[in-house]
């Protein structure tokens, strides 16, 4: 630091700028003298410290400086107002004025607070959702942005499928751009679990490769993770790592759990480690695993002997793994992707499709299909709340404008007292930012309350609750300040201009109309029309999805899934178990019917290709017929509410060893035997598998909502044994009420039974329609909010105009104008604004249609009825809002009105 | 000056100004005060007290000629006015009255 005399240049520079001009010389002189004396007495560090204290004290003095003359301050302030200290002081004064003003006009302050609070609350809630969904890296994972996920793709750019174990081994041993490639899969695996003390329970397990934790960078809290040999050969090393919460719940956080044997599906597993508390898997979605098990144990645990879960078996494929790899040091995502794609291109085996490859994703948290859905939903929500926020800001600006007109007196007095235009603008801005911050507080409070509720609307359940974090709060504050400052600028500039006009001597027009305010109201109308039109579309879309004819009955159906094979049942044991279970469940109070089914709608397919018999119509390009399959028990059709068209359903006579029989749906019957009676015909899948058709049932929905009629063939579970079954239980009351009793009843037959999935058919359907519901509910809510704000602004403006024109109206009524005519004029004025807004909004809605199309179910994004309905709604509400002040206008007493002036 | 009571710090500053006579400027007052009261005082605090006293017309101030000793910067000199003198005396007499009262009451 250059030193001129005893004072550092910086201190001199700063003080020269902040000191009052007439005190600069003597104060700096005094300080220099003092400092020179100190440097003579003290060591330089102590002297330096004293100097900084002096400087600070001078700043303080300067900030409070009020001069020495007793008289009022001279309007010398224009010059001094540029100094930062003066600005701070002015700002504090502005804030004080603002708070005082808010106290004096509570109605205005509360309205502004409500408007901003709702706008910011909506934005913060959506921000909280988006932040939680996309910007929360999995806890306990080291450098998650250096991880890549690998999926199977069936065509370039499309994919998200699982990968086979042999392929994983191939990639793992050949990839060199990665520092480790791990695999996980079988996420919905549920095992019966016992610690050997007699009490059994069930646990969720995730199968992982031995290097899974290493690749993620997770350390064990206790014990160790898996070793390479524990994953080398199928079924030989039963080991398990416990989730921290599960360890606390099931073992009371016993540190001696390491080395203990626990039973999973009846197979003893050694507990080798406990994961750290923060780590609960990669996925943020609900139901994190309780245990991690080596992928080599999958065959033993699910009794999947002979299935292609480990080796590549000709003609029989099983892909079940997702891969996750960590970039090697110095490697970029692009290099890793290139490396993996090259490996995939080099991989060939007979079953591999020509277009098959891999999809390398940087999204660690979600599968591509989930990510796509969440992304488009989030984009839409962000767009919607942006519109809501703009409306709130415009609304706030209108409020401020209206208030500014009632404050012209105050402003002119302040101008007369010497306040500059900039000073006034700043005061108005400070006031609006103050309100903005208050609104921010209210909005954040709303977000705390509603985030979790909004999250339950999402198409996926999440493991942890939603609440705004610091990042969201920071954005909310910035948003509030920016919005309120932008809104505050409008009346501030307006007021400043009005003052000039006043000085020059012009009077403003009698009507009190303001182009800016009208434009703000029209803008709000237009934007809210866009949202309301969107809300109507989404509501229709959800309604269409919800009322979609399913072809089966969803209400009051409980579903309990049991995988007998993984529970260690042989086929004979399983065949014996099923009828007993059906009898017991059927005898429960409140149960009307029970059946089993291999397939549950919307939960994937089981299918086969069929060479069509002569005369049949193929439904595939290669001339074959694709047939969806299901194995069901005798009462299935009645229990599911699938109507019988002809023939008979399965009955107790369709047993093992008897003639194999089948029930087909109308679509399959039509394709196989167009125009003929299918009963008694036979369907054959090759030499040894032939079924005689005994019945035809109605088409239903099997895979996706609103699908085209799809083939379906049912076989009897008695004839075609299926170890994994869903019990479908038709109940008299709400199905969920029966869930505990149904599970208890099944456990009477087998105390160690684990239930893979317990749900209701209603929930299955709700899950499918959830993506339409979330748009409908949130956009409906936000659209309603937007409409409310816009209409409130319209009401305010029309009321204001009426109040302003009271005298005018009085005079005209005294001159003979009818009440109807006066009211009509006011109403027309309001409706003109609304109609202009609606027209602009229609244009906007049409322009945005591409954006909404992907989120709609069987509804056109430019659906004219939705636009008409939205416009009608807007105009009706606007008319109602304008009607109140219009009626008030007719009540004007001419004599009173003229006298008040 | 009835009603204008002196604050403690203000009184000390005024006493220093009075004592310094002709040469009473900011840093001199500061040096004298630190010496006499035995505590560290900043210029900022002294200016604030001086400003207040001047607003109450207890002191006067004027700008001297620039001197080479201070890098060509002028000094602002302060002097106690007659009102200031009166206020100091008033303050002193209150104290003395109280001290005497305390002394008489303490010795029976």
> pLDDT digits over A562-600, tens only?
988 888 888 999 999 999 999 999 999 999 999 999 999
DSSP state of A750: -
- Are the beta carbons of A23 and B42 separated by less than 8 Å? no
Mutate to test the interface with B, among A12, A51, A68 (most CBs of B within 10 A): A68
Beta bridge partners of residue A151, listed in sequence order? A359
- Are the beta carbons of B26 and A27 separated by less than 8 Å? yes
What is the distance between the alpha carbons of residues A675 and A669, in angstroms, rounded to a whole number? 9
Least confident of A184-188, A290-294, A774-778, B24-28: A184-188
* A72 interfacial to chain B (CB closer than 8 Å): no
User: Of A836, A25, A120, which is closest to residue A481 (Cα–Cα)?
Assistant: A120
In three-state secondary structure terms, A229 is helix
- Please write the tens of the pLDDT for every residue from B25-46: 898 999 999 888 888 889 989 9
> First and final CA of chain A: distance in angstroms?
69
- Are the beta carbons of A61 and B44 separated by less than 8 Å? yes
Using CB atoms within 10 Å of the CB of residue A590, give its burial: 0 to 12 exposed, 13 to 18 middle, 19+ buried: middle
Cβ(A293)–Cβ(A264) below 8 Å: yes
- What residues of A are in contact with residue B31 (Cβ under 8 Å)? 34, 37
What is the distance between the alpha carbons of residues A776 and A203, in angstroms, rounded to a whole number? 36
CA gyration radius, chain A: 37
What value does the mean pLDDT of chain A take? 85
What is the distance between the alpha carbons of residues A481 and A393, in angstroms, rounded to a whole number? 11
- Among chain A residues, the shortest Cα distance to B27 is held by A30
- Among chain A residues, the shortest Cα distance to B77 is held by A26
Higher pLDDT, A899 or A749: A749
pLDDT-above-90 percentage for chain A: 39
What is the 3 state secondary structure string of A166-209? Answer: HHHHHHHHHCCCEEEEEEEEEEEEEEEEECCCCCEEEEEEEEEC
Least confident of A95-104, A646-655, B54-63: A95-104
Residue A437, pLDDT > 60, answer: yes
- What residues of B are in contact with residue A20 (Cβ under 8 Å)? none
How do A220-223 and A261-264 pair as beta strands?
Answer: unpaired
Count of beta carbons in the 10 Å neighbourhood of residue A396: 30
For residue A897, CA distances in Å to A512, A800, A811, A813 come to 17, 15, 8, 10
DSSP state of A595: E
What is the distance between the alpha carbons of residues A510 and A515, in angstroms, rounded to a whole number? 14
What pLDDT score was predicted for residue A2? 39
* A63 interfacial to chain B (CB closer than 8 Å): no
- Please write the tens of the pLDDT for every residue from A664-709: 999 999 999 988 899 999 888 876 678 999 999 999 999 988 888 9
Cβ(A691)–Cβ(A660) below 8 Å: yes
Tokens standing for residue A503: 């000085």
Cβ(A415)–Cβ(A149) below 8 Å: no
User: Of A73, A69, A64, A27, which is closest to residue B57 (Cα–Cα)?
Assistant: A69
Query: Residue A37 — pLDDT band, cuts 50, 70, 90?
Result: confident
Higher pLDDT, A471 or A901: A471
Residue A901, pLDDT > 60, answer: no
- Are the beta carbons of B44 and A57 separated by less than 8 Å? yes
Tokens standing for residue B82: 């007659």
Cβ(A799)–Cβ(A829) below 8 Å: no
Residue A161, pLDDT > 90, answer: no
A270, containing H or E segment:
strand A267-275
Query: Residue A307 — pLDDT band, cuts 50, 70, 90?
Result: low
What is the crossing angle of helices A84-104 and A421-455, to 10°?
60
Distance to chain A for B95, nearest Cα, Å: 28
For residue A711, CA distances in Å to A599, A605, A645 come to 14, 12, 15
* Dihedral of alpha carbons A794, A799, A800, A802, sign: positive
pLDDT-above-70 percentage for chain A: 91
Query: Residue A157 — pLDDT band, cuts 50, 70, 90?
Result: confident
> Dihedrals φ, ψ of A272, to 5°?
-100, -20
* A31 interfacial to chain B (CB closer than 8 Å): yes
Looking at chain A from residue 34 to 53, which residues have their Cβ under 8 Å from any Cβ of chain B? 34, 37, 50, 53
b/e code A103-130 from CB counts within 10 Å (16+ = b): eeeeebbebbbbbbbbbbbbbbbbbbbb
Cβ(A144)–Cβ(A439) below 8 Å: no
> First and final CA of chain B: distance in angstroms?
36
What pLDDT score was predicted for residue A192? 84
What ipTM was predicted for this assembly? 0.88
What is the 3 state secondary structure string of A652-663? Answer: CCCCCCCCCEEE
* Dihedral of alpha carbons A119, A121, A126, A130, sign: positive
Least confident of A75-84, A742-751, A853-862, B45-54: A75-84
What pLDDT score was predicted for residue A178? 94
Tokens standing for residue B20: 């310094």
Residue owning tokens 């009963």: A679
DSSP A733-747: S-HHHHHHHHHHHHH
What pLDDT score was predicted for residue B106? 57
What is the distance between the alpha carbons of residues A560 and A617, in angstroms, rounded to a whole number? 37
Looking at chain B from residue 55 to 94, which residues have their Cβ under 8 Å from any Cβ of chain A? 55, 57, 61, 63, 66, 70-71, 73-76
Least confident of A191-200, A380-389, A534-543, B51-60: A191-200
- What residues of A are in contact with residue B25 (Cβ under 8 Å)? 26, 30
- Among chain A residues, the shortest Cα distance to B64 is held by A26
Cβ(A723)–Cβ(A564) below 8 Å: yes
Query: Residue B55 — pLDDT band, cuts 50, 70, 90?
Result: confident
What is the 3 state secondary structure string of A682-698? Answer: EEEECCCEEEEEEEEEC
Query: Residue A139 — pLDDT band, cuts 50, 70, 90?
Result: confident
User: Of A30, A276, A841, which is closest to residue B31 (Cα–Cα)?
Assistant: A30
Distance to chain B for A451, nearest Cα, Å: 52
DSSP state of A358: E
> Dihedrals φ, ψ of B62, to 5°?
-150, 155
User: Of A695, A891, A713, A864, which is closest to residue A809 (Cα–Cα)?
Assistant: A891
Give mean pLDDT, residues A515-536.
Answer: 89
Q: What is the pTM of this model?
A: 0.73
Tokens standing for residue A868: 């008409």
What is the distance between the alpha carbons of residues A654 and A659, in angstroms, rounded to a whole number? 7
* A408 interfacial to chain B (CB closer than 8 Å): no
Tokens standing for residue A105: 């006009």
User: Of A247, A210, A242, which is closest to residue A226 (Cα–Cα)?
Assistant: A210
What is the distance between the alpha carbons of residues A812 and A894, in angstroms, rounded to a whole number? 8
Distance to chain A for B93, nearest Cα, Å: 28
Residue A197, pLDDT > 70, answer: no
DSSP state of B50: H
- Among chain A residues, the shortest Cα distance to B54 is held by A68
Per DSSP, chain B holds a count of helices (H) and strands (E) of: 4, 2
Q: Which of B26, B42, B66 sits opposite A53 (nearest CB)?
A: B42
- Please write the tens of the pLDDT for every residue from B58-102: 888 888 877 766 767 888 889 898 888 988 998 888 888 888 887
Going through B6-98 in order, the beta strands assigned E by DSSP cover: 59-67, 73-80
Distance to chain A for B74, nearest Cα, Å: 5
Cβ(A232)–Cβ(A246) below 8 Å: no
CB pairs under 8 A between A and B: 80
What is the distance between the alpha carbons of residues A392 and A435, in angstroms, rounded to a whole number? 13
- Are the beta carbons of B54 and A68 separated by less than 8 Å? yes
* Helices assigned H by DSSP within A456-570: 470-504, 515-546
- Are the beta carbons of B73 and A54 separated by less than 8 Å? no
* A33 interfacial to chain B (CB closer than 8 Å): yes
């Amino acid at each position: 630091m250059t030193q001129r005399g005893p004072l550092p240049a910086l201190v001199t520079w700063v003080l020269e700028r902040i000191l009052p001009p007439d005190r600069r010389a003597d104060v700096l002189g005094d300080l220099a003298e003092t400092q020179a004396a100190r440097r003579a007495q003290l060591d330089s560090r102590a002297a330096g410290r004293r100097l900084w204290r002096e400087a600070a004290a001078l700043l303080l003095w300067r900030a409070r400086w009020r001069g020495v003359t007793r008289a009022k301050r001279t309007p010398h302030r224009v010059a001094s107002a540029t100094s930062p200290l003066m600005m701070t002081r002015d700002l504090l004064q502005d804030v004080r004025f603002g708070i005082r003003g808010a106290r004096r006009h509570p109605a205005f302050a509360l309205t502004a607070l409500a408007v901003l609070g709702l706008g910011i609350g909506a934005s913060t809630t959506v921000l909280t959702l988006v932040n939680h969904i996309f910007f929360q890296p999995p806890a306990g994972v080291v450098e998650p942005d250096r991880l890549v996920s690998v999926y199977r793709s069936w065509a370039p750019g499309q994919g998200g499928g699982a990968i086979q174990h042999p392929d994983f081994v191939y990639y793992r041993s050949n990839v060199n751009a990665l520092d480790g490639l791990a695999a996980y899969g079988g996420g919905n695996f549920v095992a019966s679990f016992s610690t050997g003390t007699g009490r059994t329970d069930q646990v969720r397990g995730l199968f992982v490769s031995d290097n899974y934790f290493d690749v993620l960078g997770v350390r064990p809290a206790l014990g160790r993770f898996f070793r390479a040999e524990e994953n080398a050969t199928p079924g030989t090393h039963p080991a398990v790592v416990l989730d921290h919460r599960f360890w606390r719940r099931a073992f009371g956080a016993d540190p001696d759990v390491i080395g203990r044997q626990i039973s999973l599906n009846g197979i003893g597993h050694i507990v080798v480690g406990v994961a750290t508390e923060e780590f609960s898997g990669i996925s943020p979605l609900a139901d994190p695993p309780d245990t991690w098990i080596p992928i080599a144990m999958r065959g033993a645990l699910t009794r999947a002997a002979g299935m292609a879960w480990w080796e590549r078996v000709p003609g029989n494929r099983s892909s079940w793994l997702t891969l996750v790899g960590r970039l090697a040091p110095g490697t970029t995502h692009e290099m890793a992707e290139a490396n993996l794609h090259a490996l995939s291109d080099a991989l060939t085996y007979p079953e591999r499709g020509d277009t098959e490859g891999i999809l390398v994703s940087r999204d660690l948290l979600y599968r591509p299909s989930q990510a796509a859905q969440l992304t488009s939903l989030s984009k839409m929500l962000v767009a919607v709340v942006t519109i809501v926020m703009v409306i709130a800001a415009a609304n706030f600006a209108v409020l401020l404008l209206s208030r500014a007109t009632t404050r012209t007196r105050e402003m002119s007095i302040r101008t007369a007292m010497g306040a500059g235009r900039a000073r006034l603008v700043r005061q108005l801005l400070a006031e609006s930012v103050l309100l903005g911050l208050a609104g921010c507080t209210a909005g954040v409070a709303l977000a705390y309350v509603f985030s979790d509720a909004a999250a339950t609307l999402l198409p996926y359940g999440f493991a942890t609750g939603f609440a705004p974090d610091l990042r969201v709060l920071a954005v909310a504050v910035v948003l509030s300040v920016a919005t309120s400052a932008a809104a505050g600028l409008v009346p501030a500039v307006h007021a400043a201009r009005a003052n000039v006009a006043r000085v020059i001597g012009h009077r403003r027009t009698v009507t009190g109309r303001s182009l800016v305010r009208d434009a703000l109201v029209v803008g709000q109308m237009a934007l809210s029309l866009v949202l309301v039109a969107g809300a109507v579309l989404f509501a229709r879309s959800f309604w269409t999805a919800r009322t979609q004819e399913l072809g089966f009955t969803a209400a009051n159906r409980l579903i309990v899934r049991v995988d007998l094979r993984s529970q260690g049942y042989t086929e004979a044991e399983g065949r014996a178990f099923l009828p007993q279970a059906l009898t017991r469940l059927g005898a429960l109070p409140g149960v009307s019917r029970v059946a089993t089914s291999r397939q549950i709608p919307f939960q994937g397919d089981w299918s086969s290709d069929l060479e069509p018999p002569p005369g049949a119509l193929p439904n595939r390009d290669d001339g074959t017929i694709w047939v969806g399959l299901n194995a069901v028990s005798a009462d299935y059709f009645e229990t599911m509410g699938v109507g019988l068209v002809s023939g008979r359903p399965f009955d107790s006579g369709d047993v093992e060893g008897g003639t194999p029989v089948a029930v087909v749906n109308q679509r399959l019957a039509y394709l196989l035997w167009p125009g003929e009676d299918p009963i008694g015909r036979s369907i054959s899948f090759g030499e040894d598998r032939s079924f005689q058709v005994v019945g035809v049932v109605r088409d239903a929905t099997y895979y996706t909502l609103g699908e085209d009629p799809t083939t379906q063939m049912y076989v009897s579970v008695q004839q075609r044994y299926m170890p994994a079954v869903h019990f479908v239980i038709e109940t008299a009351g709400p199905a969920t009420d029966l869930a505990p009793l149904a599970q208890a009843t099944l456990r009477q037959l087998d105390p160690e039974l684990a239930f893979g999935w317990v749900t209701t058919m209603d929930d299955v359907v709700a899950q499918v329609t959830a993506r339409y519901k979330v748009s409908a509910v949130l956009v409906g809510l936000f659209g309603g909010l937007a409409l409310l704000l816009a209409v409130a602004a319209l009401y305010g403006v029309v009321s204001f105009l009426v109040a302003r024109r009271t005298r005018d109206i009085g005079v005209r009524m005294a001159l003979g104008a009818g009440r109807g005519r006066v009211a009509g004029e006011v109403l027309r004025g309001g409706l003109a604004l609304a109609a202009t807004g609606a027209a602009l909004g229609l244009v906007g809605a049409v322009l945005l249609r591409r954006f909404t199309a992907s989120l709609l179910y069987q509804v056109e994004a430019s659906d004219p009825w939705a636009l008409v309905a939205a416009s009608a709604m807007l105009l009706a509400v606007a008319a109602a809002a304008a009607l109140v002040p219009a009626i008030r206008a007719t009540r004007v007493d001419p004599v009173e009105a003229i006298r008040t002036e | 000056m009835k009603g204008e009571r002196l604050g403690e710090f203000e009184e000390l500053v005024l006493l220093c100004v009075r004592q310094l006579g002709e040469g009473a400027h900011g840093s001199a007052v500061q040096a004298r005060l630190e010496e006499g009261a035995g505590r560290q005082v900043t210029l900022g605090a002294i200016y604030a007290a001086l400003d207040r006293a001047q607003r109450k017309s207890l002191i006067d101030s004027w700008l001297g000629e620039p001197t080479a000793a201070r890098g060509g910067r002028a000094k602002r000199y302060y002097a106690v006015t007659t009102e200031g003198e009166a206020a100091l005396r008033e303050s002193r007499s209150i104290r003395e009255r109280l001290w005497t009262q305390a002394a008489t009451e303490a010795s029976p």
